[in-house]
Amino acid sequence: MMTACVICASAYLLLLMAKASATCFQARKEEQEDAPVLRPGDLTVGQAILSGDAGLQEMLESNLESLHGQNFLWLCDEDDDEALGIAKELRARHPEERITVVSCPPCPAGLNPKVFKLIHGSSRVYTPFLLVLDDDTHLPSRSAAMLVHQARTHDIATGLPQYRNGSGLPSSLLAQFVNNNSALTYLSLLPMIEPVSINGMCYVMRAEKVGVFQEISGHLTDDLALATLIRRRGGSIHQSSARQMLATQVHGMRHYRRMMHRWYVFAMLLLKEQPIGIKLIIILLHGSHPLLLWGLVAMVAATPSMLTVGLLMGTLVLRAGMLILIQRRVFHDGMHLPWISLASELLQPFHLIHAMMDRNIQWRGRRYRVHASDRFEAHD
């Protein structure tokens, strides 16, 4: 059993080390480039806004400060009085900013509600570039400048999500899942394959490309649909290490489970559309890690001894050290919570099983039965 534990621990650490090396290499390449400058009027910041998060006003205002001098396009549902009230209050509080508040009609059945809003507001994009930014996301000015610079030579440029550790266990579990995996997932594959999707929370595209939203409006996974369409037409996606900060308050374990379930259903849709070679690479690099960790934990629990327990603890210490190194290299910030981070990784196989068994998700105030990215049913 000790030999099996050593093999499992070695495979886990070698795989993590390989991904960490590729991730840090990609991040270092961008650090060596000259820092671009974001000029006033470069961007229209398009945000599909939905009320319900206590931090909505604070997050919107933080972007007014970091992206001063850009155009803001806030897309609210016409029956969302809270979101409209927040948007209009901020517009009155910041008269020096160019803020357009758009009241959008109800989204028709069969269309993506976020993309429907972007289509509704696309005629109001007068700047060279459009930044699509989720309403719970803060983008630093340096990251915005990097994305605009990269979008000059690519069809789309996207960055890396970084969650702030919220109060309470559910929020911290969600934050640790994203912070453990975002850089490793998006950057480590780049030496082998082109980006297969984008981070839909934040991306920049040239304004003349906004007509693409019409073509993906029938897809629930708009980030995957957009990336697939660009690649199919021979376009290019730049996966940047530019970070954006997210702060979503998770209201209990049920809310956490719903969010993870939705993300895993979307991840399964992404995997399903890839060629067999890319599927195997993704499964090996990202799917096998939690299983190897579970295998090690199970073997140590079955035959506990000084040697096996010591091997497990040593593995966990090296795991934490590599994750901290990656986060400091990419995000320039220490966000690691060791035991919650570990719990987040061990929960991943259960989220996967849940997504395989249940294709009903809750997103943007609606429930959907998901069969494919472009085949889904909305339920009240």
From start to end of the chain, where are the E strands? 43-49, 71-77, 98-104, 129-133, 137-138, 156-163, 202-206, 237-246, 360-363, 366-372, 375-379
pLDDT in tens, the chain (380 residues): 678 888 898 999 999 999 999 898 888 877 766 668 888 889 999 999 998 887 889 999 999 999 999 999 999 999 999 999 999 999 999 999 999 999 999 988 888 899 999 999 998 999 999 999 999 999 999 999 999 999 999 999 999 999 887 778 998 999 999 999 999 999 988 888 888 888 889 999 999 988 899 999 888 888 889 998 998 888 999 999 988 998 777 888 998 999 999 999 988 888 888 888 888 888 888 888 899 999 988 988 888 888 888 888 999 999 999 999 999 888 877 788 889 999 999 999 999 999 889 888 887 667 878 877 777 777 65
For the chain, give the longest Cα–Cα distance: 69
Contact indicator for 122, 213 with CB cutoff of 8 Å: yes
Specify the pLDDT at position 380.
59
Q: Under CATH, which number does the domain 36-252 receive?
A: 3.90.550.10
Q: How far is CA 270 from CA 15, 178, 225, 255, in A?
A: 22, 17, 9, 23
Distance (Å, rounded) from C-alpha 274 to C-alpha 95? 47
Structure pTM?
A: 0.91
How would you label 311-334 residue by residue, b for 16+ Cβ within 10 Å and e otherwise? bbeebbeebbebbeebbebbbeee
Question: HSE on the CB side for 129, CA within 13 Å?
Answer: 27
Contact indicator for 230, 156 with CB cutoff of 8 Å: yes
Phi, psi of 249, deg, nearest 5: -80, 120
Tokens of residue 301, six digits: 């629990």
Residues in the chain: 380
Specify the pLDDT at position 55.
84
CA geometry: angle 202, 222, 333, nearest 5 deg: 25
Contact indicator for 104, 52 with CB cutoff of 8 Å: no
Instruction: Find tokens 């901020």 and name the residue.
Output: 90
Question: Bridge partners of 44?
Answer: 71, 130
DSSP 207: G
Specify the pLDDT at position 130.
97
Specify the pLDDT at position 4.
83
Contacts with 144 (C-beta within 8 Å, 6 or more apart), sequence order: 38, 43, 66, 67, 70, 131, 204, 242
Cα torsion 67, 69, 75, 81: sign = positive
Residue among 197, 199, 196, 115 nearest 162 (CA): 199
From start to end of 173-236, where are the E strands? 202-206
DSSP 317: H
SS3 273: coil
Residue among 112, 134, 132 nearest 217 (CA): 112
SS3 34: coil
Contact indicator for 43, 144 with CB cutoff of 8 Å: yes
Where are the domains positioned within the chain?
Answer: 2-26+274-373, 36-252
Single-letter amino acid, residue 7: I
Q: Beta strand pairing status for 129-133 and 137-138?
A: unpaired
